[in-house]
Structure 1
């Protein structure tokens, strides 16, 4: 038996906004009308869909499952309606890691705007891995690789490499007694542990603990992390990047953070190898939405832009 159909867009709005009153404003109805429709739907299903917490609400486990199940159908109904009316869906929500958004995505958005002027993009920034759900976004850049009903396409393999500011680079050369980039490369190839003669900047956003990034870098060079290494500790890769810009020491950052789109590159790569973190980045979207024009536009554009990354999978 079909549920009360008028209640479904109300349920979707409340779930997306986490608020009965905000959903009422969006739908241009009273809050009591929203509550009535949710009550009808819950009575029909025999399950509570929301936890009520004052003015805010949160989906129950059953509510999350139901939202995932019906959101595809609501999207298809909207798409079919727009096609009949001669309107194309041009709005899409992209969920992406904060460092990827700030250092790689945003500088490239003028290109997206130029190619697809009618595509309206909303960016949902995440410090952790975004929840793959229609409630979160329509399109994802993520290190996750499996979820039922989703398509995953490999974007690139993640690498970290040592960087520092241009001023600090001169300090390194002076202390190690070299005068050129090539001379420094030769010295670090023979003795990569020389990097630990300088303060190292570490973050725990990738491995969930400080110094693990540098331990793995030294391991990739066949060395152990020197015991007396001085560290500056930060919670996130973005903070490590900014600390390096201000000459606090040498940081390990992701390849996408070195943005060639900037007129002046703030940091310089040290002449020594990168190492693979073991993570791959993927584009992800619902299987049922793979033929949507907005999904296709964004997917093609992101993959084309990502060709600049050193380990892009094409």
Structure 2
């Protein structure tokens, strides 16, 4: 069976206006056409589809079953088209730089620094994407990529970026209660919330097999941002990425449990096209990110001390 020809956008937009407004005359006003022009467009569309799309009701019109089916498809297509045109317009901004960054790192480390970034690069218009399936830097869709391992793509400049670590935290009230008790008794007074992947991950498994082994697991998440929210709500102690939790720790929304080991976590890498970039702002943002990660006294400084033995 052959695919039917797609009616012209002019006919579909006239139909959508008439269907949405329930009137040919009001659709004509919206489209800056005469009522007879709208009526002619609808007639053409009905002839092309082979189905009546409207029935007369008093001085207005209402959709037939075929019209309702077509309207849903047309509105969905128009919304997609408008969204695409909006994205095209955004790409015309000369300050646009596309940065792909995992959501937890974007939320916990980069978001708190956006004011500082804006002052450092006022011409920059960053487009942040959390789509980790973007595995290439191609100067069209992705300018800079923050990844857990080097992409090893020809023609890329790749540099170590941030070293994360696993820490154990709690809401300050809960942390204060535990501070008055020996560590061996903590499991009797608190439950554990954690990220699903961290239970068996090589980096963090030592915590779950060691000092956290006696805790009842109250909640297990597959999204690190929900884990952060649960910890701040006092749902239990949490084994969490320090980079994700850094702003909450600085604000006093979370407290570090100092008796628990801090284990080295993921090493993040920064990637961009080698040599000249399509815009000087790409290189400037890349350099700013590296400098910010290496700034003395930043919240990762304490991670350079070796964690205590388990």
- TM normalised by structure 1 equals 0.57
Deviation for aligned residue 1:275:
0.5
Residue 99 in structure 1 maps to residue 90 in structure 2: no
1:231 alignment partner, SS class: strand
Separation in 1 of the partners of 2:204 and 2:137?
34
Q: Is the 8 A contact 1:290 1:296 kept in 2?
A: yes
Residue number among 163, 168, 186 corresponding to 1:157 in the alignment: 163
Q: Which runs of 5+ in 1 are unaligned?
A: 1-20, 22-53, 56-87, 177-186
Q: Is the 8 A contact 1:89 1:294 kept in 2?
A: no
1:247 alignment partner, SS class: coil
Aligned residues: 209
Change (3 A) 1:261 1:253: closer
Residue 172 in structure 1 maps to residue 159 in structure 2: no
Counterpart in the other structure of 1:203: 195
Counterpart in the other structure of 1:235: 222
Q: Is the 8 A contact 2:109 2:247 kept in 1?
A: no
Deviation for aligned residue 1:158:
1.9
Q: Is the 8 A contact 1:210 1:233 kept in 2?
A: no
1:122 alignment partner, SS class: strand
Deviation for aligned residue 1:131:
2.3
Counterpart in the other structure of 1:38: none
Q: Is the 8 A contact 2:136 2:153 kept in 1?
A: no
Residue number among 104, 112, 115 corresponding to 1:110 in the alignment: 115
Residue 301 in structure 1 maps to residue 288 in structure 2: yes
Residue number among 116, 125, 144 corresponding to 1:120 in the alignment: 125
Separation in 1 of the partners of 2:215 and 2:106?
35
Q: Is the 8 A contact 2:100 2:146 kept in 1?
A: yes
Change (3 A) 1:225 1:172: closer
Q: Is the 8 A contact 2:108 2:247 kept in 1?
A: no
Residue number among 132, 136, 143 corresponding to 1:138 in the alignment: 143
Deviation for aligned residue 1:151:
1.9
Residue 217 in structure 1 maps to residue 207 in structure 2: yes
Deviation for aligned residue 1:136:
4.2
Q: Is the 8 A contact 2:135 2:151 kept in 1?
A: no
Q: How does 1:254-293 map to 2 (within 5 A)?
A: 254-260=241-247, 264-271=251-258, 272-277=260-265, 279-287=266-274, 289-290=276-277, 292-293=279-280
Deviation for aligned residue 1:224:
7.0
Separation in 1 of the partners of 2:157 and 2:108?
26
- TM normalised by structure 2 equals 0.57
Residue 147 in structure 1 maps to residue 147 in structure 2: no
Separation in 1 of the partners of 2:248 and 2:218?
30
Change (3 A) 1:310 1:129: farther
Separation in 2 of the partners of 1:100 and 1:141?
9
Change (3 A) 1:293 1:234: same
Q: Is the 8 A contact 2:98 2:126 kept in 1?
A: yes
Deviation for aligned residue 1:292:
4.5
Change (3 A) 1:152 1:259: same
Change (3 A) 1:297 1:214: closer
Change (3 A) 1:273 1:262: closer
After superposition, the C-alpha distances for 1:175-224 in whole angstroms (9 at most, x for unaligned) are x2xxxxxxxxxx44xx5xx55442111112x55x67987633245xxx37
Q: How does 1:236-255 map to 2 (within 5 A)?
A: 236-255=223-242
Q: Which runs of 5+ in 2 are unaligned?
A: 1-8, 10-75, 78-92, 305-310
1:259 alignment partner, SS class: helix
